[in-house]
Amino acid sequence: MLGIWLEKEHLSLRDDLPIPTPPKGEALIRVLKAGVCATDNALARGYYPYTGILGHEFVGVVESEGEWKGARVCGEINAVCGQCEQCLNGRRTHCDNRTTLGIINRHGAFADYLTLPFENLRPVPESISDDEATFTEPLAAALEIQQQIQVKPTDRVIVIGDGRLGMLCAQTLALTGCDLLVLGRYPAKLDLLAARGIRTALADDAPRARADIVVECTGKLPSFELAQRLTRPRGTLVLKSSYVGRVPADLASAMVNEITILGSRCGPFAPALDLLARKWVDVQPLIHARFPLNEGLAAMAKAQEKGILKVLVEVSRL
Amino acid sequence: MLGIWLEKEHLSLRDDLPIPTPPKGEALIRVLKAGVCATDNALARGYYPYTGILGHEFVGVVESEGEWKGARVCGEINAVCGQCEQCLNGRRTHCDNRTTLGIINRHGAFADYLTLPFENLRPVPESISDDEATFTEPLAAALEIQQQIQVKPTDRVIVIGDGRLGMLCAQTLALTGCDLLVLGRYPAKLDLLAARGIRTALADDAPRARADIVVECTGKLPSFELAQRLTRPRGTLVLKSSYVGRVPADLASAMVNEITILGSRCGPFAPALDLLARKWVDVQPLIHARFPLNEGLAAMAKAQEKGILKVLVEVSRL
| pLDDT tens, residue by residue, B228-285 | 999 999 999 999 998 878 889 999 999 999 999 999 999 999 999 999 999 999 999 9
Name which of A199, A153, A198 is nearest A176 in CA terms: A153
Chain-chain contact of A262 with B260 (C-beta, under 8 angstroms)? yes
pLDDT at B133: 98
**pLDDT over threshold 90, residue B48:** no
What whole-number distance in Å separates Cα of residue A147 and Cα of residue B69? Answer: 53
pLDDT at B5: 98
pLDDT band at B47 (very low <50, low <70, confident <90, very high): confident
User: Is B45 near chain A, with CB under 8 Å?
Assistant: no
User: Is A263 near chain B, with CB under 8 Å?
Assistant: yes
Chain-chain contact of B240 with A255 (C-beta, under 8 angstroms)? yes
Residues with Cβ within 8 Å of residue B90, at least 6 apart in sequence: none
Count helices and strands (H / E) in chain B.
10, 19
To the nearest whole angstrom, how far is the Cα of A242 from the nearest Cα of chain B?
Answer: 5
What is the DSSP secondary structure assignment for residue B267, as one 8-state letter?
A: -
Name which of B104, B3, B118 is nearest B53 in CA terms: B3
Chain-chain contact of B91 with A233 (C-beta, under 8 angstroms)? yes
Identify all chain B residues contacting A263, using CB atoms and an 8 Å cutoff.
251, 254-260
pLDDT band at A244 (very low <50, low <70, confident <90, very high): confident
pLDDT at A226: 96
Identify all chain A residues contacting B233, using CB atoms and an 8 Å cutoff.
86, 91, 94
Chain-chain contact of A233 with B47 (C-beta, under 8 angstroms)? no
What whole-number distance in Å separates Cα of residue B237 and Cα of residue B259? Answer: 7
pLDDT band at B115 (very low <50, low <70, confident <90, very high): very high
Identify all chain B residues contacting A251, using CB atoms and an 8 Å cutoff.
224, 239, 243, 247, 249, 261, 263
What whole-number distance in Å separates Cα of residue A263 and Cα of residue A242? Answer: 10
**pLDDT over threshold 90, residue B145:** yes
User: Which among A85, A234, A261 has the least Cβ separation from residue B261?
Assistant: A261
User: Is A250 near chain B, with CB under 8 Å?
Assistant: yes
User: Is A264 near chain B, with CB under 8 Å?
Assistant: yes
Angle, CA of A233, A235 and A240, to the nearest 5°: 140
Parse chain B into domains and list their residue ranges: 3-135+283-314, 141-263
Residue A141 has phi, psi (to 5 degrees) of -65, -40
pLDDT band at A11 (very low <50, low <70, confident <90, very high): very high
- Cα separations in angstroms, B170 against B130, B160, B199, B269: 22, 9, 10, 18
Lowest-pLDDT range of B10-24, B170-184, B187-201, B241-255: B241-255
If you average pLDDT over residues A152-175, what whole number do you get? 97
pLDDT at A46: 87
Question: What value does the mean pLDDT of chain A take?
Answer: 96
Helix A187-194 to helix A164-174 angle (10° resolution) is: 20
pLDDT at A170: 98
A47, A241, A258, A264: which to substitute to probe chain B, counting the most B Cβ within 10 Å?
A258
Written as one string, the DSSP assignment of B272-296 is HHHHHHTT-S--GGGEEEEEEGGGH
Are the CB atoms for B130 and B318 separated by under 8 Å? yes
pLDDT at B318: 81
Chain-chain contact of B252 with A91 (C-beta, under 8 angstroms)? no
Residue B27 has phi, psi (to 5 degrees) of -105, 145
Identify all chain A residues contacting B255, using CB atoms and an 8 Å cutoff.
239-243, 263-265
A221, A246, A255: which to substitute to probe chain B, counting the most B Cβ within 10 Å?
A255
The CATH number of A141-263 is which of 3.40.50.720, 3.40.50.10800, 3.30.1130.10, 3.40.50.300? 3.40.50.720
If you average pLDDT over residues B38-61, what whole number do you get? 94
A-B contacts (CB, under 8 Å): 112
**pLDDT over threshold 90, residue B95:** yes
User: Which among B248, B259, B265 has the least Cβ separation from residue A255?
Assistant: B265
Q: How many CB atoms lie within 10 A of CB B152?
A: 14
**pLDDT over threshold 90, residue A173:** yes
pLDDT at B83: 98
Give residue-wise pLDDT tens across range B193-223. 999 999 999 999 999 899 999 999 999 999 9
Cα dihedral sign, A198-A199-A204-A208: negative
User: Which among A94, A232, A252 has the least Cβ separation from residue B243?
Assistant: A252
- Cα separations in angstroms, B254 against A1, A158, B235: 37, 20, 10
User: Which among B148, B241, B255 has the least Cβ separation from residue A243?
Assistant: B255
Give residue-wise pLDDT tens across range A129-156. 999 999 999 999 999 999 999 999 999 9
**pLDDT over threshold 90, residue A122:** yes
pLDDT at A242: 82
Chain-chain contact of A255 with B249 (C-beta, under 8 angstroms)? no
A80, A155, A251: which to substitute to probe chain B, counting the most B Cβ within 10 Å?
A251
Give buried/exposed letters for B275-307 (b at 16+ CB in 10 A, else e). Answer: bbeeeebebeebbbbebebeebeebbbbbeeee
**pLDDT over threshold 90, residue A245:** no
What is the DSSP secondary structure assignment for residue A65, as one 8-state letter?
A: S
pLDDT at A48: 85
pTM of the model: 0.95
If you average pLDDT over residues A15-20, what whole number do you get? 98
To the nearest whole angstrom, how far is the Cα of A51 from the nearest Cα of chain B?
Answer: 19
CATH superfamily, domain at B3-135+283-314: Medium-chain alcohol dehydrogenases, catalytic domain (3.90.180.10)
- Cα separations in angstroms, A245 against A166, A221, B252: 21, 11, 7
pLDDT at A47: 82
Chain-chain contact of A263 with B242 (C-beta, under 8 angstroms)? no
Same fold flag, B3-135+283-314 and B141-263? no
To the nearest whole angstrom, how far is the Cα of A232 from the nearest Cα of chain B?
Answer: 9
A262, A265, A266: which to substitute to probe chain B, counting the most B Cβ within 10 Å?
A262
Share of chain B residues as helix, strand and coil, in percent rounded to the nearest 5: 30, 30, 40
What whole-number distance in Å separates Cα of residue B115 and Cα of residue A214? Answer: 38
What whole-number distance in Å separates Cα of residue B15 and Cα of residue B33? Answer: 18
User: Is B8 near chain A, with CB under 8 Å?
Assistant: no
**pLDDT over threshold 90, residue A246:** no
Question: What value does the mean pLDDT of chain B take?
Answer: 96
Chain-chain contact of A255 with B233 (C-beta, under 8 angstroms)? no
What whole-number distance in Å separates Cα of residue A300 and Cα of residue A11? Answer: 10
Percent of chain B with pLDDT over 70: 100
What whole-number distance in Å separates Cα of residue B175 and Cα of residue B278? Answer: 12
